[in-house]
Chains A and B, each alone.
Chain A
């Protein structure tokens, strides 16, 4: 098996599996319980919170555990839009559905939404975002790395400008596809809210976190026992939190250099195929994602053919299950959106695997009759 679908989810690291197993076997307390067993679980959560915070270079009390990236995005956007006075929300036209659908919901409730279109390389222009900011802007949400193309959005300078024009507005970044891969610096870049997910960095599914900058008030959208300082009520998923903490500890940003070599090898060899087109191509694209269209071979067919060879890739985004064409590629004006294949890598992939994949793709595109 060759797994090149790491943007959909990653294999859990062995150390992560051990951490979770250890917890599940020996400790099961509710962190809210007052007895010793509860305290033990609380300590595990606190410890993991420190590790997640360290990976983002923020403080532990700014980390709120959620059920994953989607819940983090929902809590951030609903909480930010509903607290401040203002009616304008600025986002991009290529957000993950977790952001896009939440913004659609807010639009129905009366917010005015500006969706910045991407350029043909998949990135949005910084000036397009900055030009859209007005004093009545309440929220800006821009993803860091696009999940389909790997395009890196210019998020470093948005926060500062936003605070000058609309001091009470909040800046949110969906960093699910960048966290653990490339540097994410919320405090240096003036970001108020950052969503991250565990299972994209070799942690377990069902857990993620929202960074909320100290002093930021969010209106809760989940109600209950008041866990996570009343922002994410519900008994903590302690085992998964422990695994997430471990996964954060294992992050090593220089791994990206090796991954980039693999990506470059794939890109070079796959683009030699007649009719293939790189969807993206900006200078600082994520080393972890490569999106290529193969002429007239429709995505599903290439995907199935590779799957039959034990090679797992994705057509568009695996989160939007089904046969429909990618909205992101359409927004970019990609020439062959129906035949796009996303190869997404992890630190566990090897050059040998890339060689096999390149060979198989070449073989399939030569032999498959279309």
Chain B
């Protein structure tokens, strides 16, 4: 039996004249993620994308891959049947029956784009409902709040039958590539991959920067960051990870600046370095995983002091108003949590002062910072930066 995948998209519909551009982008991203060779045909009609899997390609495996494509709000697999009410009521009802076992209530929704079909939509619903009830006697119809909805669509040449439920949800957002590129400061922690994912979800392409301090941080810690990047790349497609050796910089700061200002001067140097790397690679913003008040360097005062180094591009902080629990919930959902909590030290924890300042003022930090040649160290970091291409996981 032939099956087809139905994909519905959210906000793109609101895009007016640009809509088809966004739709094309989404189609392109879908093709990239599932592989062109796995698709027999793909077409758009009335805000739905219909994908016919290639012969010998399993529709479910395509759907699993598409769950990570931003812009999709709904994915379902439908059986394709002859446009004949008898066939729909026999083969079509058999097709959806598995999804109805164990449910208490259901309803049928019918839609016909072919107005020449002998039955009108309400009649199709009624007939199909009867066919299902004759198979599962305990099931009841509930049009207000059904557990399972069975849909029947009568198209030009064929009929589609499928069920909808929680499994049909897509990740939402906008198609990747529809809004420029931004650079995430990626540590090995829980927050930064979530921040990257949230901005990527808005259609933004990613680059990433990671600061690495051997031997104070291990090769394993770097591998962990690469692993996190690969998980995020599952949503965005491949991207560049810039690895910045930062040991000498950290030592210079620690040896010359007052201890309680170490973290902030380091953060400032990291932002300066990241901004330059971003500009070199046509990134239009930085992204950080900062969340207000989470640690000393993320108080409102500290963020102000850190942000002051930015000269041209904005910094997006999508987690700024979120609690740790909320961040963890997303990290679990997107699959980065388990990797994030592996206990390898990252460079944010090795050079941590015992009593960092929580209410820094810019003049004081500037004075502490003047003990080292920021420009020299930032340039050196940018020059020594290494580059890895991150390919999506699996």
Residues of A that sit less than 8 Å from B by CB:
300-305, 307-308, 321-324, 368-369
Contacts and interface: CB of A to CB of B under 8 A. Distances in A.
Contacts of A305: 215
Contacts of A300: 218, 345
B219 A324 contact: no
Given A369-B251, A369-B255, A322 B218 contact: no
B343 A323 contact: yes
A305 B350 CA distance: 14
Contact of B219 (A302, A307, A322, A323): A307
Nearest to B345: A323
B239 interface: no
B316 to A, nearest CB: 31
27 contacts: A300-B218, A300-B345, A301-B215, A301-B216, A301-B350, A303-B218, A304-B214, A304-B215, A304-B216, A304-B217, A304-B218, A304-B219, A305-B215, A307-B215, A307-B218, A307-B219, A308-B214, A308-B215, A321-B343, A322-B343, A322-B344, A323-B343, A323-B344, A324-B343, A368-B215, A369-B251, A369-B255
A319 to B, nearest CB: 14
Nearest to B217: A304
A300 B342 CA distance: 15
Taking chain A's interface residues, is the majority helix, strand, or loop, or is none over half, making it mixed? helix
Interface string B228-259: 00000000000000000000000100110000
Nearest to B350: A301
Scoring A300, A307, A322 by chain B CB atoms within 10 A of each residue's CB, the highest score goes to A300
- Sorted nearest first, the 7 A-B pairs with minimum C-beta distance are A304-B215, A305-B215, A322-B343, A304-B218, A323-B343, A301-B216, A323-B345
Interface in B64-84: none
A323 B214 CA distance: 15
Interface in B340-391: 342-345, 350
A324 B341 CA distance: 13
Contacts of B342: 322
Scoring A303, A305, A323, A368 by chain B CB atoms within 10 A of each residue's CB, the highest score goes to A323
Contacts of B350: 301
Given A308-B214, A369-B251, 15 more contacts: A300-B218, A300-B345, A301-B215, A301-B350, A304-B214, A304-B215, A304-B219, A305-B215, A307-B218, A307-B219, A308-B215, A322-B342, A322-B344, A323-B343, A324-B343
A45 to B, nearest CB: 38
Nearest to A309: B215
Scoring B215, B216, B217 by chain A CB atoms within 10 A of each residue's CB, the highest score goes to B215
Contacts of B343: 321-324
B386 to A, nearest CB: 15
B302 to A, nearest CB: 25
A301 B254 CA distance: 16
A321 B254 CA distance: 29
Interface string B268-281: 00000000000000
A115 to B, nearest CB: 25
A323 B219 CA distance: 13
Interface in B130-174: none
Interface in B108-137: none
A308 to B, nearest CB: 6
A304 B219 CA distance: 8
Nearest to A324: B343
Interface in B186-217: 214-217
